């Protein structure tokens, strides 16, 4: 749910990075944060636990131009990867404008990817969203690992609709900005169509 601040002439959009634990959600946002100019970014807030790098969320506002005289500002969040933090996942999804699913390409993580996508669909439904209708991008992360599942197999197993798919190595920044640009474009197109 986009928030419009008329006094500041600003449109605020929320993008949520979703996926299994340690799949690269936080790494994506950290990479974007580190390479974004200080004039266009806010503060990065990361809450870490021993079992997962991100317990609640990372927060990063970025400005991407104007719509009808209003500046657009994107807030990027990650959800905790472990299923037992489901209440936090649901809370973070509330009011989202777009989702990036960060899949872990390792063969041993395919079940976790599938479980996480099912969980995403269920949690979106609880908020009245349909994954097939919201701006959505699939990122296949960790493509550099020797146990990476071939891309066609991952797409066949994980693609929900005809969403854009990007191969990534988030630790090196490969595919990170392509993924971000794609979800931003999807959110902006969705906003303009309303």
Binned at pLDDT 50, 70 and 90, residue 55 comes out as very low
Predicted confidence (pLDDT) at residue 182 exceeds the cutoff of 60 = yes
Assign 54 a pLDDT band (cuts: 50, 70, 90). Answer: low
Taking each continuous run of H as one helix and of E as one strand, the counts in the chain are 5, 7
Residue 20 in contact with residue 100, Cβ under 8 Å?
A: no
Task: Identify the bridge partners of residue 67 per DSSP, sorted by sequence position.
Answer: 70
- pLDDT band at 150, cuts 50/70/90? very high
Mean pLDDT lowest among 33-42, 124-133, 145-154: 33-42
Enumerate residues 6+ apart whose C-beta is below 8 A from 149.
Answer: 105, 106, 107, 110
Of 4-18, 96-110, 112-126, 165-179, least confident by mean pLDDT is 4-18
Q: Is residue 8's pLDDT more than 70?
A: yes
Higher pLDDT, 67 or 154: 154
User: Domains, the chain, ranges and CATH?
Assistant: 3-193 (3.40.50.300)
Distance of CA 119 to the CA centre of its chain: 15
Output the pLDDT for position 100.
98
Question: Minimum mean pLDDT among 86-90, 107-111, 147-151: which range?
Answer: 86-90
Count the Cβ atoms, other than its own, within 10 Å of residue 171: 15
DSSP 31: H
Q: Are 169 and 176 in contact (CB under 8 A)?
A: no
pLDDT higher than threshold 50 for residue 123? yes
Mean pLDDT of 102-124: 97
**Could you give the CA distance from residue 15 to residue 60 in angstroms, rounded to a whole number?**
10
Inter-residue contact 100 to 137 (CB < 8 Å):
yes
pTM for the predicted model, two decimal places: 0.92
pLDDT at 50: 60
pLDDT of 51 reads: 63
Q: Per residue in 80-96, pLDDT tens?
A: 877 667 888 898 999 99
Give the range with max mean pLDDT: 25-34, 82-91, 172-181.
172-181
Judged against a pLDDT cut of 80, whether residue 141 lies above it is answered with yes
């Amino acid at each position: 749910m986009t928030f419009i601040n008329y006094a500041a002439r600003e449109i605020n959009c929320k993008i949520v990075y979703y996926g299994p634990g340690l799949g690269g959600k936080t790494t994506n946002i950290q990479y974007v944060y580190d390479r974004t100019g200080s004039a266009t970014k806010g503060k990065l807030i990361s809450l870490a636990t021993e079992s997962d790098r991100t317990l609640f969320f990372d927060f990063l506002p970025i400005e991407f131009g104007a719509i009808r005289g209003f500046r657009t500002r994107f807030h990027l969040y990650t959800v905790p990867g472990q299923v037992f933090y489901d209440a936090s996942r649901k809370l973070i999804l509330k009011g989202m404008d777009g989702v990036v699913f960060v899949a872990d390409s390792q063969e041993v993580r395919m079940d976790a990817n599938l479980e996480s996508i099912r969980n995403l669909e269920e949690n979106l439904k609880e908020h009245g969203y349909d994954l097939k209708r919201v701006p959505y991008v699939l990122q296949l992360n960790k493509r550099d690992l020797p146990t990476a599942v071939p891309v066609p197999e991952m797409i066949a197993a994980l693609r929900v609709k005809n969403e854009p798919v990007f191969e990534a190595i988030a630790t090196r920044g490969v595919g990170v900005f392509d993924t971000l640009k794609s979800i931003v474009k999807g959110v902006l197109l969705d906003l303009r169509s309303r």
